[in-house]
Amino acid sequence: MRVSTKGDYGLRALIELSHRNGRGPVQSNDIAAAQDIPVAYLDQLLTTLRRSGFIRSIRGPQGGHVLARDPEDLRLSDVLKALEGSLAPVSWLEDEVCPDRVRAQRVVWQEVHDACMTVLERTTVSDLARRDKEGSVERYSI
């Protein structure tokens, strides 16, 4: 599985909103500066995150963005699916019928996918925000 810039920056934005959770709306420029994300790209990602129900956007001079749910309830698997689409390591893995030419590989790619999803489903935005705040880099075990 490879996470694109879209997934990386989207998670950074949610981590920043998690850090500021409960303190009112955060403007795009502040998120972008704190997480080193280009503002124009961030605005596109925030639209996707809003449409997916992860954030709320508030208009006006005192407006900005806030988490729509508790960061403990935002699993990485859900966020990355919204930002990236399919998380399958090969495009045909989610197909109903497996092409004959790749049948021998299917079990291995399914195991890889299942292992990645296990980590992503048990990890929340709150977990990442906590690690970010502590400055710790923890290894994931699969």
Q: Give me 125's structure tokens.
A: 């935005």
Return all residues near 137 (Cβ < 8 A) that are at least 6 apart: 131
What pLDDT score does 139 carry?
52
pLDDT bin (cut points 50, 70, 90) of residue 138 is: low
Q: Give 58's strand partners.
A: 64
In a domain, 11, yes or no: yes
In a domain, 70, yes or no: yes
Give the residue numbers spanning the domain of 42: 5-86+124-134
In a domain, 82, yes or no: yes
Separation of first and last alpha carbons in the chain? 14
What does pLDDT average to over the chain? 90
In a domain, 109, yes or no: no
What pLDDT score does 137 carry?
55
In a domain, 104, yes or no: no
> How much is the CA Rg of the chain, to the nearest whole Å?
17
54 within 8 A of 79, measured Cβ to Cβ: yes
In a domain, 96, yes or no: no
What pLDDT score does 92 carry?
83
CATH number at residue 79: 1.10.10.10
In a domain, 101, yes or no: no
Q: How does pLDDT run across 58-84, given as a tens digit for each residue? A: 998 889 999 999 999 999 999 999 999
Q: What is the pTM of this model?
A: 0.87
In a domain, 63, yes or no: yes
Model confidence at 133: pLDDT above 80: yes
Q: How many domains does the chain have?
A: 1
